[in-house]
Amino acid sequence: MKAASAVRPPILLIEDTLSLQLVYRSVLSSAGFRVSVAGTAAEGLTQFQSLNPAVVLLDLVLPDRDGLALMQDLLALQPETSIIAITANGSVNRAVEAMRAGAHDFLVKPFDDNRFLSAVQNALAERAQRPKDNAPVVPPPERLTLTDTSGFIGSSPAMERIHSTIASVARSMATVFITGESGTGKELCALAVHANSARANGPFIALNCGAIPQDLLESEVFGHMKGSFTGAISDKPGAAAAADGGTLFLDEICEMAPALQTKLLRFLQTSTVQPVGATRPKKVNVRIVCATNRDPLDAVRRGHFREDLYYRLFVVPIHMPPLRDRNGDVIEIAEAALRRFADEEGRLFLGFDPAVQDLLSRLPWPGNVRQLLNVIRNVVVLNPGGWVTLEMLPPGLSEEGSTPAIAAPSPAPAADPLPLDGLVGMTLAEAERRLIEATLAQHGGSVPRAARVLDVSPSTLYRKMESWRKDGD
């Protein structure tokens, strides 16, 4: 242990509570780290200048000075230092401020030993990958580059703010919670966080919690062992284990069943996974990014989403704005998509006719970026090339609302809403279908509006409608 400690860079702990000083120091020393402790900001600054520590664990509430102000002074003296902010459970906003001001990571009290040590080890691992010269670390660029950028470009103020936020938080371990309507590019946002992080060379595993039956979701997230249930013919690593060393993106997180929410919370607290049927947990190093098209706080109020899990996940919120609120981005996205799709199809398109640009700019785009991309794909596939004119656009695009050519599949003709006794004698599946069809008919076939009334995600309705079609209806 002494030999290991001798080669490890020093760690400075700035914490004014004596009992916590003893606990944190004990955990770090047991893991082989050299630790120096300061109880005030002034003492911490003095030790920082003499020790030049690799990592600083900094409580944001100190008796003689604001922790954020001290952090800025420390980074001004040594920009390459990794600072891990520590804050109480009710001060998450302070931790987010610290991340934006340059903190590498943060811990919210109370936290367990595994989370504590993981934060320190990740900070040291990233430090080891940096160039060996004394130049300050260059921050990530605020303009982000992805393999598929057509849905995540735009120079509107709303998108500039998102690029700036991602650039600030990507290299931390902080959980990112992305909200926004369907089709706004939440997964592309998650990819941007991953691509600009120290985990960019690791896996990016995406899992849609609303697209997987609830009885299979636990196996998909945490894996299972051979023979653990009927049909488990071999061991299967779950998404959490597959994302080890990288990022796990949980889309439609609010659709997760309560029982699995409990297990996800434990995973976040311990950084361990236990496959279904396994007797021992396995430690993994995963950064969580999640997303939902619902209001997560409303889901908490309704009892559909655990409050403690919400506060554990909702650390750095990013809201993807609807396309209608991204002034000027429509044409920028459309032009990028036209170039990409034309290249894929081997066709030459020169651009958009002014009348087309005017129409695309005025439409409300209820399906957001996804709908716009589908329109451009439709144009490229069905036309030989040249300038895109109004005649090349899908029929009905000039009408208010969504495009028939790319709209959600129309449900079967629905009868008038049934009284309760009209449902008697039906199977549960039949009654559910009648209710969904009646709600869709009442809202003009709009899946998002019907989903809000029924308090489910739009993807749930799309899946059910698709299953009805597959059954031959």
Question: What does the pLDDT profile of the chain (473 residues) look like in tens digits?
Answer: 444 434 567 899 999 988 888 889 888 888 888 899 999 999 999 999 888 898 999 998 898 888 888 988 898 888 888 898 888 755 566 766 777 677 887 787 777 787 788 788 877 876 665 544 444 433 333 334 444 444 478 888 888 888 888 888 888 888 899 999 988 989 999 999 998 888 888 999 998 888 777 777 888 888 878 777 666 677 788 888 899 999 999 999 998 888 889 888 888 888 888 888 877 888 888 999 999 998 898 889 888 899 889 988 988 899 999 998 887 899 999 998 999 899 888 889 988 999 999 999 999 898 899 899 999 999 999 998 899 999 999 887 754 444 443 344 444 444 444 455 566 667 777 778 888 888 887 777 777 777 777 877 666 777 777 777 766 64
Calpha distance 393→75 (Å, rounded): 54
Going by their DSSP bridges, the two strands 247-251 and 204-208 should be labelled as parallel
HSE of 103 in the Cβ direction (CA atoms, 13 Å)? 28
- Which residues face 223 on adjacent strands? 237
The confidence score (pLDDT) of residue 128 equals 64
The kind and range of the H/E element at 214 are helix 214-222
Query: Nearest-CA neighbor of 392 among 402, 377, 406?
Result: 377
The confidence score (pLDDT) of residue 422 equals 61
Rounded to 5 degrees, φ, ψ at 178 are -105, 130
The confidence score (pLDDT) of residue 148 equals 43
Calpha distance 27→25 (Å, rounded): 6
The kind and range of the H/E element at 47 are helix 41-51
Calpha distance 251→207 (Å, rounded): 6
Going by their DSSP bridges, the two strands 287-292 and 176-179 should be labelled as parallel
3-state secondary structure of 338: helix
Read off the pTM: 0.60
Contact 320, 189 (CB under 8 A): yes
Convert the pLDDT of each residue in 326-344 to its tens digit: 878 999 999 989 998 998 8
The confidence score (pLDDT) of residue 270 equals 85
The confidence score (pLDDT) of residue 231 equals 66
Contact 457, 255 (CB under 8 A): yes
Contact 172, 214 (CB under 8 A): no
Helices (H) and strands (E) in the chain, counts: 20, 16
Q: Where are the beta strands (DSSP E) in 274-315?
A: 282-283, 287-292
One-character DSSP codes across 230-261 = TT--S-EE-HHHHTTTSEEEEETGGGS-HHHH
What's CA 1's distance to the chain center, in Å? 39
Calpha distance 176→289 (Å, rounded): 5
The confidence score (pLDDT) of residue 143 equals 39
The confidence score (pLDDT) of residue 315 equals 87
* Domains of the chain, each with CATH number or no CATH: 2-129 (3.40.50.2300), 157-321 (3.40.50.300), 324-392 (1.10.8.60), 420-470 (1.10.10)
DSSP classification of residue 409: P
Q: Structure tokens of 266?
A: 């434990």
Q: Where are the beta strands (DSSP E) in 29-79?
A: 35-38, 55-59
